[in-house]
Amino acid sequence: MYNFADLHCDTITALYERKEELLKNNLHIDINRLNKFNKPTQVFAIWLAKKYYKDAFNITNIMIDFFEKELEKNKDYIKKIVSYNDILKDDKINAMLAIEGGESIEDNLNNIEHFYNRGVRIMSLCWNYENNLCYGVATQSKNGLKPFGKEAVKIMNSLNMVIDVSHLNEAGFFDLYKISRKPFIATHSNAYSICNHYRNLKDDQLKAIKECGGIVGINLYPGFLNNENKATIEDVFRHIDYMEKILGIDKICFGSDFDGIENTPKNIENISKYNDLIFKIEKIYGKDVAEKIAYKNFYNFIEKNI
């Protein structure tokens, strides 16, 4: 089995809500399937539905507690990582923690450092909606980052906590591009020119991510891969081909969005299918490109920036 790094999944939230376990479950990702790969790295995001917003800080901490308990129960197979050096320590599955949505910090900027100290290394400023930092893509707002959001960017930069733009609106994106002193990334977004969904990135956004030194994780949700809401591996290749022209092959990664999407491309039903996907990438583009997209691009980014 190949090695891989995946920049985004919602498995922890899904497990917490369904009262299931990370070792074995009926979701897209579990340890049993991850363990078949060669030392994979999975970024686990804490995502909050609207029902949790009134108590977002506490609920996020409860979900992180759940995440850590699951890792402790399965410590023979998996470990939490906070830096590139952690990946090198052993042959276990690598689990990096992220937060999907700045709602989790509520009205207190000190909570950013709190979550950093809990191991969070990637955070998006919002999900699809408006919050006290910015506006999500679903709002269709033309407004940029709010003052509170700009202060949050400064703190995240100072901590080397990576900013994720996958759900940020365009005006906020370009405000971030102007003020961030550190590279930012899109953990699970595709190319708008290939599939014109508002969650995807336009060409000038892709260029900005390249210029700032960031990376993009290709999302496997069919609705973001094409306009038919049914997808195949060939649709993934269309986004790789297009992004390569703008970003270069060194900036493209995987960002499945597993367990945050209701359906997947044909024959990529869960994390175990990454082996088939990487094999086909190698067959078409060569081993060097396959390894870069599969894990080396992400490893190179976190070695330099986290």
Encode pLDDT of 38-47 as tens digits: 999 999 999 9
SS3 86: helix
Q: Count the Cβ atoms, other than its own, within 10 Å of residue 174.
A: 16
Distance CA 98, CA 58 (A): 16
Domain ranges of the chain: 5-305
CA-based nearest residue to 299, from 94, 99, 158? 94
* pLDDT of res. 12: 98
Distance CA 205, CA 173 (A): 8
Do 184 and 209 touch, CB atoms closer than 8 A? Answer: yes
Residue 229 amino acid letter: N
Distance CA 84, CA 143 (A): 36
* pLDDT of res. 229: 82
User: Token digits for 268?
Assistant: 């990529």
CA neighbours closer than 13 Å in the CB half-sphere of residue 98: 34
- For the domain made up of 5-305, give the CATH fold: TIM Barrel (3.20.20)
SS3 134: coil
* pLDDT of res. 73: 98
Distance CA 139, CA 169 (A): 8
Distance CA 223, CA 257 (A): 12
Q: Which residues of the chain have a pLDDT value below 50?
A: none
* pLDDT of res. 1: 83
